[in-house]
Each structure stands twice: as structure tokens, then as C-alpha cells.
Structure 1
Amino acid sequence: MFYKLSNTIDLLKIESAFDAHFKYPSLYETNPIINGLYEQSLPVITKENPDQINYAIWGMVPQNYKDGWDSFQKLSNTLNIPLSKVNTLGWVHSLLNQQRCVIIVSGFFTSYVFNGEVYPYYVYSIDHKPFALAGVYSILNDGFLSVSLISSTKQNELKHIHNLGEDFPIALSSEDFEDWFNLDINLPNCGIENLKPVELNAHTISKEFYKNDIIYDAVLEPANYYSLPIHSLK
């Protein structure tokens, strides 16, 4: 499961990269580690309003849901939903046709198991620009949005540093993010193989990353481990 993201990009640089403007710019804050296990808001661009950057609570709940976010997450963690399972979740499939979005990030994290130990990797665009992760959103009873990442088994360059599962977030550049909006999700393969991925890089970071309440200035900096054969993705 991908439950942590990063967003360290300046607001103006995000608006310039995506050619869109924040609906509520005063609410935007950078955060090196966004932990989805707590209730967190993410900047999103929806299919309906591709020129506007809004906010959505990470961890989608059903459309017009009336109870609290945490009550639903205890029943079903929806930080990310595999594309292969969308058809089995009727309440998600109906939304994915019309309510797609992308989540704006500067990076995300993955883990690699080697010799009985787990090592964290920070994944980011090779040009250090903000990029998009494919998602789906719902509209809550109070008008706010909630969102889930859509993951896929599509082949990608990160398979060598991730062996805890086959699914990955669908990462797109700020120039190509609207391609996610145009897929025909009802087709068997929905054209996902034709999406142009953003070029990514990755490096190992400190294992302090796994401690939920620890965030410090150098948390995203490279950390080398003597026993690990792959420290970074080239």
C-alpha cells in the first residue's frame, strides 16, 4: 500500500507547471511527508475542472457519505485502489467514469525487502518538477471532495526497487495528465498502456521515514546502506 506522499513544490511553480490555478491558494502548504493514515488533504485537478486546483481528503468515501472519514477508513482503507479491482467495487466504478482526477505531488515512497530488512525509497521526477498521480474522487455530503490513488500493474522502471507488490501509482507529467481523463475505462485494457509516464528517479532514504511522527529537514536526502545493492534508480 502507498500511504505516504511528498509535496515540497512552491505554489507558483505548481500553477505554472499545470497551467492551472489554486481555488484556495491560502490553504496550500508544502509537506515533505504526507501521511495518509491520518486525515490529510491533497491538491487535485478534476476532469470536470482541468484549469483549477482544488483539495480532496486522501482516502475516498462513497458519494454523499454522511459519517466521518475515519469511520469509513476503519472499514475499508481506500488510500489507493488497484485498477484491476475497480470493476468489483460498484460504488468506485460508477465514479471512475466521470469523476477522475489527478493528485499533484513532488514525490512518493516505496519499499524494498532485502535480507530480512525493509528499505524506504523516495521516488520523484527526474527534473524535480511536480507531477500527477491518477486518481478518482467522490463528493461528500458537505461538498468537500475525497480521493483515492489508482494503482496499476503496468510495467515501469521502478520494479527493481519495489518487491512488496506489483501495483504502482500511475504517474504522469504536468503536460500529459489529462490523458488519464480521456481513457475509456469500460474497455478491457482501457488504453492504460498508451499513457506516457513521467520519467522518474529514486534513492534510498533514512529508515526514520517509517516512524510516523518523525519529520526533519533532511528526511528526503539520500541514505546509503552498506548491505543494499541498489541505492538509487539511474
Structure 2
Amino acid sequence: MCYHISLTKKDETIRKRFEIPQSDLNVYTPFYHRNGFEQEAIYIIKDSQPVHFASAYWGMLPESYNINQRGTFLKKSNTLNARAEGLLESPLFHKPIKNNRCLIIADGFFEPHAFNGKNYPHYITYKDNSIMGIAGIYTALDEHVFTVSLITTLANDYFKKIHNKKNTLGEYRMPLVLDESDELDWLDTNLKIEQVNKLLSSFTNKEFESYPVSKEVMNAHVNSNYAHILNKVDYPELHTLF
């Protein structure tokens, strides 16, 4: 599961990376930590407008819902994440994976590392600290209100060492970070199902780095959207560094 991301980059960096118009960035406010259960926006690029930038609510709602029902819906059905396996069979996700794909824009994400019965949040980013496009699906509740789920996949060996506790299905998971060369394909509205499935089995070729950060990341009662939440924290009890 992945419920925590960052996007700290300046407008110009995002504009150049995705070749989007400057006017789109009027909706953009950088953040150091976004908890998916919060009300604040995350940012996406939709398949229907692949050179435009939009804000979205994290946690996909059915199209028949309105945004005021988000809190109640997420308590009943946690849609912050969507498992890559079985998307086409899901009553909620089968239509969006065919017709409403998006990139979730981030420059890092946070995952818990379990050690001696306690969790130690780790921040994961590219070694060059560049922007990543995470595979997502979305619904449009109206012309300007979008809700989104972040797609996760089975973890590779690197991520198994970080998020080292299995979920209720006995799996290790990681966000489906697309390789930059696959991003436009993911947004292609003419993509065939076999091509979608191929991308759902893909992953970025770039190298990551990770390190432990403050436990305030996992504390819902603390506003942890501040610059030094990304600073490395030395926990003497941790003997393994990534």
C-alpha cells in the first residue's frame, strides 16, 4: 500500500518535464508530505488531456457520487490504492483501467519499515531526485472534480526490504512507477487491453534511494507537510540502511 507521497518541485521543472502550459500550474501548490486520507489535492495528468495538469482527490469514487461523500466512502471502501492484478475484473476499477488512466505526479513516497514490532517510515525517491509518474486511474465527478486511485504491484526485492511487512493477502506491494519511456503509452486512449496488461507488469528502470524519516509521517494528528519531514533521521536501533 502507498498512502503518502511528496511533490516538491517548482512550477518550471514540472512544466518542462511534461510540456504542459504554464496556466495549468495555477492549481499547483508543492507539498513535502501528502497523506491520502487528507482533503488536500494531489496532481495528475489524464489520458483525455495528456499535455494538461489537473488537481485530484486521492481515493477514487464511483462517478455517481459527489465529493462530499468522499469521507464516508473511504471509510467503507479504501480506494487510495488499486491492485494491478485483477483491475479488469473489479466492478469499480474495470471501466477506469480501460478508459480513465492517469499519471500521478510525485518526486517521492513514504513506506513503513517494520523492526522489532515498530514501524519506521522511510522516504523513497529517485537517486537523481527527479519527478516520477506513478500509474493511476481516475473518475470525473463533474467537469473539474476528479478522484484517483494509485496502482500498486507486487514488490521487487528492493522494496520488499523497505516495506517488509506482508499485507492481508500475504503480499509485499509497491507503487507502479512507470518508466518515463512508458508514460505516453499509458496515457494513450487507443491502447489495447493486452498493451494495458503489459504496462501493468512493467516498472521504471531508474535507481531509487531510501532512508528513514520522522515518525510524524505516520501520525494523522500531526501536520507533517514541512520541509524537514524529508530529512534523514538516525534511529540507532536500525542496523540496515538502504
TM-score, normalised to structure 1, is 0.89
Q: Secondary structure at the match of 1:13?
A: helix
Q: Percent identity?
A: 29
CA drift of 1:222 comes to: 0.7
With 163-172 and 108-117 compared, the bigger mean Cα shift is at: 163-172
Q: Find out whether 1:147 has 2:148 as its counterpart.
A: yes
Partner of 2:223: 214
Letter in 2 for 1:227: E
CA distance in 2, matches of 1:191, 1:154: 15
Query: Would you say the 8 A contact 2:56–2:148 is kept in 1?
Result: yes
Q: How many residues align?
A: 232
**RMSD over equivalenced CA pairs, Å:** 2.3
CA drift of 1:88 comes to: 3.8
Partner of 2:56: 56
Aligned CA distance change for structure 1 residues 210 and 121 (closer, same or farther; 3 Å): same
Unaligned runs of 5+ in 1: none
Letter in 2 for 1:28: Y
Q: Find out whether 1:200 has 2:208 as its counterpart.
A: yes
Q: Secondary structure at the match of 2:228?
A: coil
Aligned CA distance change for structure 1 residues 147 and 19 (closer, same or farther; 3 Å): same
Deviations 1:47-102 (A, max 9, x none): 12111111111110012423521121122111111112423422311111111001
Aligned CA distance change for structure 1 residues 223 and 149 (closer, same or farther; 3 Å): same
Partner of 1:30: 30
TM-score, normalised to structure 2, is 0.86
Unaligned runs of 5+ in 2: 167-171
The runs of at least 4 aligned residues of structure 1 exceeding 6 Å deviation read none
Q: Secondary structure at the match of 1:209?
A: helix
Deviations 1:169-206 (A, max 9, x none): 11135454224345644579535334444322111112
Q: Find out whether 1:178 has 2:188 as its counterpart.
A: no
CA distance in 2, matches of 1:51, 1:98: 17
Q: Secondary structure at the match of 1:29?
A: coil
CA distance in 2, matches of 1:158, 1:25: 32
